[in-house]
Structure 1
Amino acid sequence: MTSGPSNLGFYLSGGILLLVCALKVPALVRRRHDTLLRAACLLLFSAGCLMILAAPDSITALNRLTGIPNIAAPAVYTTTVVFSGASLVLIINWRPAPPEQTRRFTRLCVAAYGLIALAVIALFWAGNAPVEQPTLFDAYYATTPYLREMIVLYLVSHGVTMAIASALCWRWSGTVGGSLRAGLRILAPTYLIIVCYDALRLTAVAARWTGHDLDYLVDEVSPLFAAPACLLGALGFALPLIGPRVAETARVLRQLWQLQPLWRTLRDVPTPSAVRVRLPWWRTPPAVLLTGRRTTLYDALLALAPSYDPVVRDAAYHAALRGGEEDSRAAITADAAMILAARDRQRSSPGHLPHAPHPLPWRAHDLPSLSQALASPFARNFREYIVSSQKAVHHE
């Protein structure tokens, strides 16, 4: 079994893994038939339970509570097998493949690791482990009939699974991108760390078979690999699950920030034909806030349409070109200047509509650029020309 110099690392790692699992429970309730999500929750739950059960204090408490010496051993080993199977199932369901092939491999994996878990339990009951060994069970009972087979079975199955998972993750990471690639690149070395953990314990077991004593590999060296592996594993699996949502939220927040200059410019423009709903930012999802912000901006731009002056726009466009801006950038700057002029004109003459309304030339993807142009020094410095142009046009 696993032990270590401190219980804190095991409990902290297990608590974090179980917390991540708990955060996925609402989604699991809504999508209970989602095999990928079920596998992810099973993996996180089994890994969290494994870390908590493997803490030395938990091992002692479980043995004392049940009154069965070393009952914690099959509990920890069975949980380890479940973790191994859940890892492969999750990777199988992650990888793009025909649905029938994915289901077939998933069923084979569940059946194989279910049988291994049952074998671990059966071998423990068939063996005899009267002396409690909370930290040296693997080495102490390495030569005991049935228990020897149980120890080798769980270590070999776990190590082989982790080696396969590491190879699959590394190979697959070269064909994907984004948060999935980052998660796979974290998982590949993480699984190799677990392979090293199993190899050290197998080495100590084999040493007992040949009459040597390498027990320190079990109770001193190998536990140092356990907590980092679980924490990195949780991060590797969490990134692909929450990464797209985090990236989408970051994209929405970036667009909201980019729209701030346009929002400050147009938020006081009256829109009698539109219904404005106040959306408190502290309790409104960012995506809903962005949709509401875009709608409000379009309503304001539409309300200003009768006041748009092509003369102002053309003057600003040519001035921007003379100032060294490229054609596309100059066009956006000219639009920004025309919007500023229209807003000022509406403020000074709210009942006067000098021009017939025209269809808005802007689309959703134009609003951030238009907003940034409003914040540019050129658009602000052009205000004097706008005012003089408005007076000239009004005089004519």
Structure 2
Amino acid sequence: MSDPVAFNAVYLTCGLGAYLLLAFKVRAVWRAPSPSLYTLTSCLAFPATAFVVAAPAVYTTVDRLTGVPNLATLLVYCLITGFSASGTVQTLLWTRPDPDRAWDLSRRSVRWVLLLAVIVVAMMITLFLTADLSRVDSAEHPLDFDTTYAEIPSVTVFLLLYQAFFALSLLSIGVVCFRYARTLRQPWFKRGVCAVAVGSWIALGYGACKVAAILACANGAHGPTWELLSTSVAPVFAAAGAALITIGMGTPSAAAWATHAREFRALQPLWTAVRSAAPSVVLDSGAVTTGHGLRALLAVRDLEWRLARRVVEIRDGQLQLRGWYDVDTIEAARRGALAAHATPAEVDAVVEAAALASAVRARRAGLPLHPHEVAEVGLAEAGADLRQELEHLVRVARAWNGPVVAAALAETAAAVEGPARAHAGSVPAGDEA
């Protein structure tokens, strides 16, 4: 028999790793519930719990508390059946062309999957509870239950029914995910879906090893070869497949978080400048949601919401400061960007950065509003959605400290210094940044 200590380490590591990712998914469900998130959460909760219960230390504890030897085996196999159903439902939702209508379009198929899973679980429970395990051995077998009791006909059917449903689901998940990955454009999402597919197919090796050992032992061919195949080789496939599936399901979320963190920190200089010149745009300057300095740079929580809040505050600041935009600085920046052969999107970002920088400079210098309208000087319009706004503002933030904007500000500095001295002290103290 294999070493229980090693199985404790491997199974608990897999289970706790899945629980860690599950915690993030539960939080996402709490904030924005959806059928897809519910099923994705189930895809993590079922196998995470199964791995923990399958660890020999937990397995024997469950049996001791319930007073039913090897009951943990039934619990583990029912949990994996729940994962099989959840994974199949998740692929049905993923592959619908219209995500907003995915649940409506998939509802009938989902019902059939769930109904089949319920029937399989009910049959497994009946077969297990009616089997007389004591006729073979009344001891606990956390690692070799399958090969020990395979000679009992009802246990053989129980085990093969579980393996059949599990294998069918894994095969379906793998095929659908590979097909779905070909339609995806987002690199990390595509990699995550491919990892789920590969993990599902690797986990099929677990079923192949188990079925071979079960059939051999059911026909009386007990021996170290089948014991090794069932208790050592099969779990390797299970652990490797589960690890890849868990990584695949977590990859899109991790990639999205990394992107949000990068964008949040990229906007920091721009937001800080706007906040200093127009502090009223920050609704709660002491809140973590809009923090600044080291606390903002190290922000890890609620990034999507914090990022949206930061975009809104920057845009509000631009509206407040547009009356101080300097046309000469804007045009100097535009010429510099065109001379540097910037793309149209980069030119728009440089121009907007220069406009905002000139307004912040004028506001800090205490200059009054410009007597003529400068808000319609060819600045780019707001994006159609938050993603476009973010991409544009990140370009603006990069241009903010770039050489083109610095050169434009230097070129027009002389024209600002005279009026600034003339209006020194003319701005009420409460308006100074």
The one-letter amino acid paired with 1:122 is: T
Report if the CA contact (8 A) 1:341-1:386 is conserved: no
Structure 1 distance, partners of 2:35, 2:355, is: 55
Partner of 1:357: 373
Q: State which of 260, 282, 287 in structure 2 corresponds to 1:249.
A: 260
Structure 2 distance, partners of 1:346, 1:30, is: 39
Q: TM-score, normalised by structure 2?
A: 0.73
Q: State which of 110, 115, 140 in structure 2 corresponds to 1:111.
A: 115
The one-letter amino acid paired with 1:82 is: G
The one-letter amino acid paired with 2:314 is: R
Partner of 2:288: 282
> Can you list the C-alpha shifts for 1:192-239, whole angstroms capped at 9, x where unaligned?
121001111112122222625221112222222333332322222233
Query: Which has the higher Rg, Structure 1 or Structure 2?
Result: 1
- Identical amino acids, percent of aligned pairs: 22
Structure 2 distance, partners of 1:12, 1:228, is: 12
Closer, same or farther: CA 151–253 of 1 in aligned 2, 3 Å: same
Report deviation, 1:170.
0.9
Partner of 2:426: none
Structure-to-structure mapping, 1:20-169, within 5 angstroms: 20-28=21-29, 34-96=34-96, 101-130=105-134, 131=137, 132=139, 133-169=141-177
Closer, same or farther: CA 283–203 of 1 in aligned 2, 3 Å: same
Report if the CA contact (8 A) 2:281-2:316 is conserved: no
Q: TM-score, normalised by structure 1?
A: 0.80
- In structure 2, list runs of 5 or more residues that go unmatched: 291-305, 383-388, 421-433
Structure 2 residue 14 is matched with structure 1 residue 13: yes
The one-letter amino acid paired with 1:189 is: V
Structure 2 distance, partners of 1:243, 1:354, is: 46
Report deviation, 1:287.
1.7
Report deviation, 1:72.
2.0
Report deviation, 1:91.
1.2
Residue 290 of structure 1 aligns to a residue whose secondary structure is helix
Closer, same or farther: CA 69–3 of 1 in aligned 2, 3 Å: farther
Closer, same or farther: CA 276–267 of 1 in aligned 2, 3 Å: closer
Report if the CA contact (8 A) 1:166-1:192 is conserved: yes
The one-letter amino acid paired with 2:319 is: Y
For the aligned residues, what is the CA RMSD?
Answer: 3.8
- In structure 1, list runs of 5 or more residues that go unmatched: none
Report deviation, 1:25.
3.4
Structure with higher RCO (Cα < 8 A, 6+ apart): 1
Q: State which of 203, 208, 221 in structure 2 corresponds to 1:194.
A: 203
Count how many residue pairs are aligned between Structure 1 and Structure 2.
380
The one-letter amino acid paired with 1:7 is: N
Structure 1 distance, partners of 2:412, 2:103, is: 63
Report deviation, 1:348.
6.3
